[in-house]
């Protein structure tokens, strides 16, 4: 199974000739030539995690691809058929097995509504919590660790990684950071990943990691 990171929050997982797309949002460049897509997971409704244009582009090439997301995504993406998922659900989308965790986005500010959010575990190997610090109650082999966001304080992100204790981690959700900011926050996440006994990798857009 191969994981490819694209800009910001978008991941593509490939297995046995099929692809799973996670969070193709507004900070991600158009995803060209994506065939074999069996499912699209959208962790929450914010535009940096999904856009109609991305969904239309993927579905034009893969009309049978399923879209899965929490209730807030189903309401926001009402022009598409979205299968509603929540924490505790397991969904089989051959050849992938998906488990969902949590229910809410991390707090940005008291004046901003807290929206629905689910984390997703792919094949019991890759975990991405969306915009949350939800810790799954199972071991995590590879963690997509967010490093930059209006809701994110680096100390809290470090504590999150320490609690998860992944065998491997890589940074995600970093489009709002300068190159200097990325370098600094990546070093912090690398340190706590190693403290927990894991390895840290930086994936630039288009780079891949074997799972």
Mean pLDDT of the chain: 97
Predicted confidence (pLDDT) per residue in 46-91, tens digit: 999 999 999 999 999 999 999 999 999 999 999 999 999 999 999 9
Provide the pLDDT for residue 33: 85
CA atoms within 13 A on the CB side of 41: 32
Predicted confidence (pLDDT) per residue in 174-196, tens digit: 999 999 999 999 999 999 999 99
- Model pTM? 0.97
Orientation angle between helical segments 154-164 and 179-195, nearest 10 degrees: 30
Cis peptide before 153 (omega within 30 of 0): no
Predicted confidence (pLDDT) per residue in 143-184, tens digit: 999 999 999 999 999 999 999 999 999 999 999 999 999 999
The structural domains of the chain, with segments of one domain joined by +, span 1-133, 139-200
Provide the pLDDT for residue 46: 98
Query: How many CB atoms are located within 10 Å of the residue 200 CB?
Result: 20
Averaged pLDDT, 97-113: 97
Provide the pLDDT for residue 32: 80
CATH class of 1-133: alpha beta
pLDDT exceeding 90 applies to what percent of the chain?
Answer: 99
């Amino acid at each position: 199974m191969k994981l490819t990171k694209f800009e910001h929050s978008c991941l593509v997982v490939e297995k046995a000739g099929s692809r799973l797309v996670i969070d193709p949002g507004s900070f991600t460049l158009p995803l060209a030539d994506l065939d074999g897509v069996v499912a699209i997971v959208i962790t929450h409704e914010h535009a940096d995690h999904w856009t109609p244009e991305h969904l239309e582009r993927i579905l034009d090439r893969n009309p049978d691809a399923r879209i899965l997301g929490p209730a807030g995504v189903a309401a926001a993406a009402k022009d598409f058929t979205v299968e509603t998922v929540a924490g505790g659900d397991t969904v089989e989308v051959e050849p992938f097995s998906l488990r969902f965790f949590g229910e809410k986005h991390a707090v940005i500010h008291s004046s901003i509504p807290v929206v629905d959010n689910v984390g997703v575990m792919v094949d019991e190997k890759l975990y991405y919590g969306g915009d949350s610090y939800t810790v799954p109650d199972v071991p995590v082999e590879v963690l997509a660790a967010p490093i930059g966001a209006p809701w994110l304080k680096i100390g809290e992100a470090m504590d999150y990684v320490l609690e998860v204790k992944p065998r491997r981690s890589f940074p995600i959700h970093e489009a709002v950071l300068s190159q200097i900011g990325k370098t600094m926050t990546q070093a912090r996440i690398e340190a706590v990943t190693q403290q927990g006994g894991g390895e840290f990798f930086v994936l630039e857009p288009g780079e891949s990691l074997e799972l």
